[in-house]
Structure 1
Amino acid sequence: MPANAPMHQEQRQYSSQPILRRNGYATDVVGVRSKDTGEIFTTNFNVRFTGRSGKFEARGDTVDVLLDDRVRFTMEIGDGGKAQFPSGKLAPDPEVLGNVTSLLDELGPHKLKFEHRYTANGEYRLNYVEALFWLWDSSDSIVVSDIDGTITRSDVGGMINGVLGARMGWKKGHAHPGVCFLYNHLIDETNAHIMYLTARPLNLINDTRSYIYELEQPVSSSSMTMRQLPPGPIITDTTNLTSSFRREVVDRSSHVFKTEMLSQLRDCFTNAGRDIRRYPVFLATFGNKDTDAVAYRAVGAPPVTIFIIGTDSRVQVADEFRERWTNYSDPRLVKVIMERIDLIKSGRLPDPNLPID
Structure 2
Amino acid sequence: MNYVGQLAGQVFVQVKELYRGLNPATLSGCIDVIVVRQPDGTLQCSPFHVRFGKMGVLRSREKVVDIEINGEPVSLQMKLGENGEAFFVKETENTLEGIPSYLATSPIVSQGVELMEAQLGKGMSRLSDPASLSVQTLSSQQTIGGGGGGMMMKKRRKRRKKARESRGGRMKEESSSSDEDHRLSNQGSESCNAEPLLTPGSVCYRKTLRLTPEQLASLQLKVGPNEVVFSVTTQYQGTCRCQGTIYLWSWDDKIIISDIDGTITRSDTLGHILPTLGKDWTHQGIARLYHRVSQNGYKFMYCSARAIGMADMTRGYLHWVNERGTMLPIGPVLLSPSSLFSALHREVIEKKPERFKIQCLTDVKQLFYPNTEPFYAAFGNRATDVYSYKEVGVPLNRIFTVNPKGELIQEHAKTNISSYGGLCEVVDHVFPLLIRGHVSDVSCPDTFSQFTYWREQLPQVHIPDQVHIPDQVHIKIGEVK
Residue in 2 that maps onto 1:268: 367
Residue in 2 that maps onto 1:180: 287
Partners of 2:35 and 2:253 lie apart in 1 by 12
How far does residue 334 in structure 1 lie from its aligned partner after superposition?
Answer: 4.7
Classify the secondary structure of the residue corresponding to 1:58.
coil
Q: After superposition, what is the alpha-carbon deviation per residue over 1:220-278, rounded to whole angstroms, capped at 9, x for unaligned?
A: xxxxxx211111111222222211121112222101111121112111111xxx332xx
2:31 to 6, 27, 33: 27
Partners of 2:434 and 2:269 lie apart in 1 by 34
Q: Percent identity?
A: 28
Classify the secondary structure of the residue corresponding to 1:159.
helix
Partners of 1:328 and 1:67 lie apart in 2 by 36
> Structure 1 residue 294 and structure 2 residue 387: aligned?
yes
Partners of 2:341 and 2:320 lie apart in 1 by 26
1:308 to 388, 401, 413: 401
Q: How many residues align?
A: 293
How far does residue 108 in structure 1 lie from its aligned partner after superposition?
Answer: 0.9
How far does residue 338 in structure 1 lie from its aligned partner after superposition?
Answer: 4.2
Residue in 1 that maps onto 2:9: none
Residue in 1 that maps onto 2:429: 339
Superposed counterparts of 1:2-17, under 5 Å: none
Partners of 2:56 and 2:265 lie apart in 1 by 34
Partners of 2:264 and 2:32 lie apart in 1 by 19
Partners of 1:305 and 1:34 lie apart in 2 by 26
Classify the secondary structure of the residue corresponding to 2:336.
coil
> Structure 1 residue 115 and structure 2 residue 221: aligned?
no
Superposed counterparts of 1:1-357, under 5 Å: 24-37=28-41, 39-51=42-54, 54-55=57-58, 57-72=59-74, 73-86=76-89, 87-100=206-219, 103-104=220-221, 106-120=222-236, 125-165=238-278, 173-189=280-296, 191-218=297-324, 226-270=325-369, 274-276=370-372, 280-325=373-418, 327-331=419-423, 334-335=425-426, 338-342=428-432
Partners of 2:274 and 2:233 lie apart in 1 by 36
Aligned residues: CA RMSD: 2.3
Whichever residue aligns with residue 371 of structure 2, its letter is: D
How far does residue 178 in structure 1 lie from its aligned partner after superposition?
Answer: 0.5
**Gap regions ≥5 residues in structure 1:** 1-22, 219-225, 346-357
Higher helix content, 1 or 2? 2
CA contact (8 A) 1:27 1:202 kept: yes
**Gap regions ≥5 residues in structure 2:** 1-26, 90-205, 436-481
Q: Could you tell me the TM-score, scaled by structure 1's length?
A: 0.76
Q: Could you tell me the TM-score, scaled by structure 2's length?
A: 0.57
Alpha carbons of structure 1 residues 267 and 118: separation in structure 2 relative to 1, 3 Å: same
Partners of 2:314 and 2:215 lie apart in 1 by 30
Partners of 1:188 and 1:53 lie apart in 2 by 39
